[in-house]
Amino acid sequence: MRAAMRFFSDNAAAACPAVMAALADANQLDTAYDGDAWSQALDGAFSALFEREVRALWVTTGTAANCLGLATLCPPTGAILCHEQAHIEQDEAGAPGFFTHGAKLTLLPGEGAKLTPDIVEEACARVRYDVHQVPPMALSITNASEYGLSYRAAEVAALGEVARARGLGFHMDGARFANAVAFTGQSPADLTWRAGVDVLSFGFVKNGGMNAEALIFFDPARAEAVPRLRKRSGHLLSKGRFSAAQLLAMVEGDVWLDNARAANAAAQALAEAAGRERLVYPVEANELFVRMAPAEAAALRAEGFDFYDWAAGEVRLVTSWDQDMRAVERLASAIAAL
C-alpha cells in the first residue's frame, strides 16, 4: 500500500526533517541519562514556550507520560476522574493502575469525549468521603479529545475551577495538544496552567517526533519525585540526548506548531468534502469521524485509501503532519462523490 494513501493513524507517520537533523547533531558522546546539554536545556525551552517556569522531562511514549504524570497526582488509594473514552482507560492496557499501584479510574460520560464542570461535580457529589469509598484525587482530560474536539481555554479553566475546589490534581493528556493549540489559536499557557492544569503530557510522536514526548509540570515542586519514578519504571534512557534534541528541535522555530497546522489543514479539507451531515463531530484537530455505509467505506478502500472502522456506520480518518496533499484531495473528491 502506498503510504500516501493512509489515513489510519498519525501514530505511525515518519519523523520530520528537524528531528532527523537533531538526531545527527546529537550523535556524539555526551553525559549519559539526562545529564547532557540537550536534556538540561529542556526546562528552559519549555519555560519560554509556556511563559512561566516549568519542569520538562522527556519520555518515549504517551502512556509513560500520562501515567508518570498521574502517579504524581493520585495516590494508590485515590481515583482519577476521566472520560469513559479516555485513552488512559481504553488504550493503555491498564498502565494507570500499574504506575499508581492500583488507583482507580472513575469513568464519566460526556459529549465528544469531553468533560464538563457539571459532569465532574456530579461525580464528586456521588462519593461518600469515608474510608469505604475511593475518593477522587485527580482529573484527567484529553486535548484534543479522543473525538478530535479541542477544549477552549475557557472550558479548561472551568474544569480547573472544579478541580481546585474539589482538591483534584489536574492532568491533560495532550497527545494532540499541538493540534488543539493550532486549531484554537490560544496559547499553550492559556490552555494549561492559566486554566489550572498541573501536568501536561505534551505529545510529539504523533506530530513528527521519533518516540519522544514531553512531560511538563507547571509547578516544579510537583515534579520532584518524577525523575526517580521515570528511572524505576525503566524509562530513563541511557542516551537521553536523542530524545531531548528532538524536542528542542521541534520547539525551536515552532516546528511543532507548523506540523500540527499541516495535519489540521488536511483534516479540514476532508471535513469540507464530507459535509456536516456525515460528520459525527465538528473537526477541531486532525481526526474526522465520518458516517459512512459499509459499502461506501469499501468503495474508498478499493481506491486505495486506508482508514479505521470506528463504530457501526462510522469510520475514522486521521491526518498527519506529512500527509500528501494530493492524496488528501483525491480522498476529498472520493468522499464528496459517494
Residues 239-258 that bind its own copies (CB under 8 A): 239, 242-243
Query: Of 213 and 284, which CB lies nearer to its own copies in the complex structure?
Result: 213
# binding residues, its own copies (CB under 8 A): 73
Candidates 28, 125, 277, 295: give the one binding its own copies (CB under 8 A). 28
To its own copies, the closest distance from the beta carbon of 289 in angstroms equals: 17
Give whichever of 227 and 313 is closer to its own copies, judged by the CB atom: 227
Q: Which of residues 66-95 bind its own copies (CB under 8 A)?
A: 67-68, 75-77, 79, 90-95
Residues 147-206 contacting its own copies, CB under 8 A: 205-206
Question: Which residue pairs from 116-123 have beta carbons closer than 8 angstroms and sit at least 24 positions apart in sequence?
Answer: 116/155, 116/158, 116/159, 117/158, 117/159, 117/161, 117/162, 120/81, 120/159, 120/162, 120/163, 120/166, 120/168, 121/162, 121/166, 123/81
Instruction: Pick the binder of its own copies from 104, 152, 261, 278 (CB under 8 A).
Output: 104
Which residue among 18, 50, 54, 63 contacts its own copies (CB under 8 A)? 63
The residue among 184 and 243 lying less far from its own copies, judged by its C-beta, is 243
- Report the residue from 44, 111, 231, 303 that binds its own copies according to the rule CB under 8 A: 231
Of 184 and 259, which CB lies nearer to its own copies in the complex structure? 259
Q: Which stretch binds its own copies (CB under 8 A): 12-20, 39-47, 110-118, 152-160?
A: 12-20
As given in the structure block, the three cell numbers for residue 160 are 480547573
For the bound state, the minimum distance from the C-beta of residue 243 to its own copies, rounded and expressed in Å, comes to 8
According to CB under 8 A, which one of 40, 41, 52, 97 is a site residue for its own copies?
A: 97
Q: Does residue 40 bind its own copies (CB under 8 A)?
A: no
Q: Which is nearer to its own copies, 273 or 318 (CB)?
A: 318
CB of 26 to its own copies, least distance (A): 9
Among 54, 57, 64, 86, binds its own copies (CB under 8 A): 64
